[in-house]
Structure 1
């Protein structure tokens, strides 16, 4: 194992292998179905809603694919380095949100990871949602699958701009701090 970052080329090759193994696993269909069912709990007001004209029904499947790719890249870096911190590569905010829906299926995902030989890497206090075009993740993704869809792979500066817009809209209806607090008295309503 190495304690330095692998090249995007090395990582892309391993990421494709990881992704192919996940897709071929006997429980992949159950995992995908369980993740899509989780959609009723997708309530983060600054994650998915940064996507322009966000629509759960039409966006959830493409985001599922993008999150699998992101987790495959992370798993590949870990496989090549053995270092969890290095494996926490930058991921776009909406893609990261979908990884949370996947991780909410721990038994299925753990069995798939065990059978296919990859390590699931995701720890909130170490994650990086500061994805930018041209960074390691972007270069690796392009080598593995082509150009990432800009609809979901939003750069951090654009996410920040959109969160500012969302925060103002939410405040206009009484959801303060981007939906993290309100003063609604339900008994009186």
Structure 2
């Protein structure tokens, strides 16, 4: 039996249909799953919840952090690099809106993975975080080996690639991915789109209500 990943677009559609059928008090975000296929490529009924595996990355304070840091928390993850000349500045400024809204809330955290494993050392990430306006440990900026970081992007269903033909030398999508305390993907939002960022903020409130 083979399995395939349900893409963000498909899950967004499924989620919107589901949410429209619920009252405000009952609303819940969809859970991203892996759909199962039989030997003929036909989708079958069972599926597996998409969960983020354990990890261990070096953060902006030169400290290793693991999944344990996010235990019992909802967190928003993305992939970027500090000298990105394209989508990263917009994406990170938009994510900063969520950080500022939930700053001090122990149930919410943020995790930005650098895809520039050569340049973005902890002191570079620290300087970047400071200039962005992050002044507590609620938002973690991490680095790691190419294999670990790019492998982790696959788990979040986020496209990342080393590409000398694009500005900055790295290509990636700008998704902001929401993970629940059970390590499940519960939403993905275009971090460069103001409307999507507003939806992210609204959906985080829905998820907080689910885990209150």
Shorter-normalised TM-score: what interval?
Answer: under 0.3
Q: Which has the higher strand share?
A: 2
TM-score w.r.t. length of structure 2:
0.23
Higher relative contact order (CA 8 A, sep 6+): 1
Q: Which has the higher helix share?
A: 1
